[in-house]
Structure 1
């Protein structure tokens, strides 16, 4: 999936309507098949206490390649993600589900630099976050230091809105580890939000743990 996220660009302009990916958009509910994560057994750290998601916000990322990333959020920051070749999400693929793991406010530039260095290494050592080690999924073909990916995400919290709720500049890297029952994902990122007025919010460091989803494992 995320291998196409090799670069970011400015946020896409507001469309007349928000994308719908397999009928998913703000205000809809998504039903999940719990076997999607239960099949990973006790090896996985991924956990979700429900099989229905109430979508209250959605984001979009326009890639230099012309492809689009569509993200759908619950109030407690569970994220369903899809790729597509169009802004409307008509042809979608590469689905994944992420839950938040940790969130922190770096106190200064030194901590931000340490975080970026961690995101540049071929393996993310997760002991400090009570996580296992994760090999890099993006740029997995190389063991060299690799700067993380940067991108802009435009986020909406109202389907009828004419302007987005916020834009978020992200510096991120995707990791994955193979388990007996499938693959577990981990997304580590620095987020710098900007509200509709252009005011920049506090920088945060986030970790999300996820799983790939098959098309048959969710519906709206």
Structure 2
């Protein structure tokens, strides 16, 4: 009885953010028929219709908004942008991202080359597809913006990384 009164609970870790029914350890599903019809237009192979959420990231934006990323079991993430709060009413954008390739930047010259010729441009060509920037920018270039993302993983790990 006394043990119950004096027992000190370990401090609880903050929970990963949730929105639209998306949460750490949860899942979401895309319409399989629509995905099959879109597949020939995609630059990625093997896009899944069923996704298991294995990690959740949160980054606060300078604009006052919040960026949530729901990382899936197939190297994709669902990115949700919220402005003014953390409910469905505050969602301004939702996108599903797949990694096409990643590049290690080892020095300032490589970073400058990447900035000048590979990223931050209004259009981008890949495998015969032309992609246009969807965010507003002043001028021809739109340099990357640094954010710190806090990420919660299923095994309980929580980390922070600086990203662009």
Q: Give the structure-2-normalised TM-score.
A: 0.73
- How far did 1:86 drift? 5.7
Query: Which ranges in structure 1 are unaligned for 5 or more consecutive residues?
Result: 1-14, 172-220
Supply the distance in 2 between the matched residues of 1:51 and 1:105 (Cα, whole angstroms): 30
Q: CA RMSD in A?
A: 2.8
User: 1:199 matched to which residue of 2?
Assistant: none
User: 1:186 matched to which residue of 2?
Assistant: none
Contact 2:79 2:94 (C-alpha < 8 Å) held by counterparts: yes
Supply the distance in 1 between the matched residues of 2:50 and 2:25 (Cα, whole angstroms): 13
Please say if 1:137 is aligned against 2:134. Answer: yes
Query: Which ranges in structure 2 are unaligned for 5 or more consecutive residues?
Result: 1-12
Supply the distance in 2 between the matched residues of 1:18 and 1:90 (Cα, whole angstroms): 16
Q: Bigger radius of gyration, 1 or 2?
A: 2
Deviations 1:68-95 (A, max 9, x none): 1111012332101212246644535322
- How far did 1:54 drift? 0.9
User: 1:148 matched to which residue of 2?
Assistant: 144
Structure 2 counterpart SS, 1:112: helix
The structure where strand makes up a greater share of residues is 1
Alpha-carbon distance change, 41 to 48 in structure 1, aligned in 2, over 3 angstroms: closer
* Number of corresponding residues: 150
Q: Give the structure-1-normalised TM-score.
A: 0.57
The structure where helix makes up a greater share of residues is 2
